[in-house]
């Protein structure tokens, strides 16, 4: 699909693998110049054609430094994709095992990274009448089904996107949220990641656990979402084809959520 994005510029956070890497690849295929950030510059990110930037985006100064770097590299930013999230150590225990340090780390990565990057990017985005997409999660709508700090942070991120849209929509910046259900990334597929730890806690084989996700999560389509499918939605929302779509939360979950 030609989204008429040639010559535009973008910053994508959490770009070294998963949904972020797929978004980088999709935007580059559409002719966008991209700065992609993560702590690790993977060979895949390097080969994507993006300008890779290594940074810890869970720190107070990381997101603003990324935006400064992107301004210097790209001359200005049209699109910001606040994708970074989840984290290395999502707690699979309950509320009473979630201490302040864990809450803070989860909030820093899943909420404050987007707040800080948006704060730094918005003056330029207003000038260019740009767009922001925040990557939240269906957990924001069904917080009881996920790790408590993560679900709470994502609910706040979704609310943040709406509030930002109200303030900056009239100034020409469209802000939207994308809320995926289960997506085929390291979060689920890495034996040491969240999916691996949930499987271990339940005492089931990890490969079998992943294979059974569509059934056990009630995914109506019968399959997990692919990262490229989320990337395609993000690219559409950034484009003028979505010119009057703003302040909305776009679910992509194969029919996991059961409410209308």
Ligand X SMILES: NC(=O)c1ccc[n+]([C@@H]2O[C@H](COP(=O)([O-])OP(=O)(O)OC[C@H]3O[C@@H](n4cnc5c(N)ncnc54)[C@H](OP(=O)(O)O)[C@@H]3O)[C@@H](O)[C@H]2O)c1
**Residue 160 class from Cβ within 10 Å (0-12 exposed, 13-18 middle, 19+ buried)?**
buried
**Whole-number Å distance between alpha carbons of 49 and 34:** 8
Tokens of 173: 């910046």
**Annotated catalytic, 150?**
yes
Q: Is 84 in the site for ligand X (CB under 6 A)?
A: yes
Task: Report CA-CA distances (Å) from 220 to 142, 212, 256, 258.
Answer: 17, 13, 6, 9
Question: 252 in helix, strand or coil?
Answer: strand
Q: How far is the CB of 33 from ligand X (least distance, A)?
A: 19
Near ligand X by CB under 6 A: residue from 10, 70, 86, 246: 86
| Of 1-9, 121-129, 181-189, 236-244: span binding ligand X (CB under 6 A) | 181-189
Q: Is 186 in the site for ligand X (CB under 6 A)?
A: yes
Residues 120-159 contacting ligand X, CB under 6 A: 135, 137
Whichever of 56 and 229 has its CB closer to ligand X, that residue is 56
Residues in contact with ligand X, shown as a per-residue x/- string from 9 to 28 under the rule CB under 6 A: -----xxxxxxx--------
Q: Is 91 in the site for ligand X (CB under 6 A)?
A: no
Q: How far is the CB of 253 from ligand X (least distance, A)?
A: 8
**Whole-number Å distance between alpha carbons of 202 and 221:** 25
Whichever of 244 and 259 has its CB closer to ligand X, that residue is 259
Q: Is 67 in the site for ligand X (CB under 6 A)?
A: no
Near ligand X by CB under 6 A: residue from 40, 216, 244, 259: 40
Q: How far is the CB of 229 from ligand X (least distance, A)?
A: 12
Among the listed residues 53, 79, 112, 150, the single catalytic one is 150
**Residue 241 class from Cβ within 10 Å (0-12 exposed, 13-18 middle, 19+ buried)?**
middle
**Whole-number Å distance between alpha carbons of 139 and 157:** 11
Number of alpha carbons in the 13 Å side-chain half-sphere of residue 58: 16
Near ligand X by CB under 6 A: residue from 32, 109, 120, 213: 109
H-type helices in 75-180, by residue range? Answer: 100-107, 113-128, 148-168
Question: Tokens 């994508």, residue?
Answer: 12
Q: Is 231 in the site for ligand X (CB under 6 A)?
A: no
State the residues that interact with ligand X by CB under 6 A. 14-20, 38-40, 56-58, 83-87, 109, 135, 137, 180, 182-183, 185-188
> Annotated catalytic sites, by residue?
150
């Amino acid at each position: 699909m030609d989204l008429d994005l040639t010559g535009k510029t973008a910053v994508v956070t959490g770009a070294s693998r998963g949904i972020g890497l797929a978004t980088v690849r999709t935007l580059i295929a559409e002719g966008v110049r991209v700065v992609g950030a993560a702590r690790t510059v993977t060979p895949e990110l390097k080969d994507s054609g993006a300008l890779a930037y290594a940074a810890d985006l869970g720190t107070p100064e990381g997101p603003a430094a990324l935006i400064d770097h992107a301004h210097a590299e790209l001359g200005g930013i049209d699109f910001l994709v606040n994708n970074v999230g989840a984290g290395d150590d999502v707690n699979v225990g309950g509320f009473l095992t979630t201490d302040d340090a864990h809450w803070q780390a989860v909030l820093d990565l899943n909420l404050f990274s987007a707040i800080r990057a948006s704060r730094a990017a918005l003056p330029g985005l207003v000038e260019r009448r740009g767009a922001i997409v925040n990557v939240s999660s269906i957990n924001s709508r069904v917080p009881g089904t996920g790790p408590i700090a993560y679900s709470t942070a994502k609910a706040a991120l979704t609310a943040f996107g709406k509030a930002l849209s109200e303030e900056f929509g009239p100034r020409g910046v469209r802000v939207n949220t994308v809320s995926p259900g289960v997506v085929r990334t390291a979060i689920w597929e890495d034996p040491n990641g969240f999916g691996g730890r949930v499987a271990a806690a339940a005492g089931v084989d990890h490969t079998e656990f992943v294979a059974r996700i569509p059934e056990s999560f009630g995914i109506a389509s019968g399959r997990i979402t692919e990262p490229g499918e989320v990337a395609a939605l993000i690219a559409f929302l950034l484009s003028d084809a979505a010119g009057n779509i703003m302040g909305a939360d776009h679910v992509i979950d194969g029919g996991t959520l059961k409410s209308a």
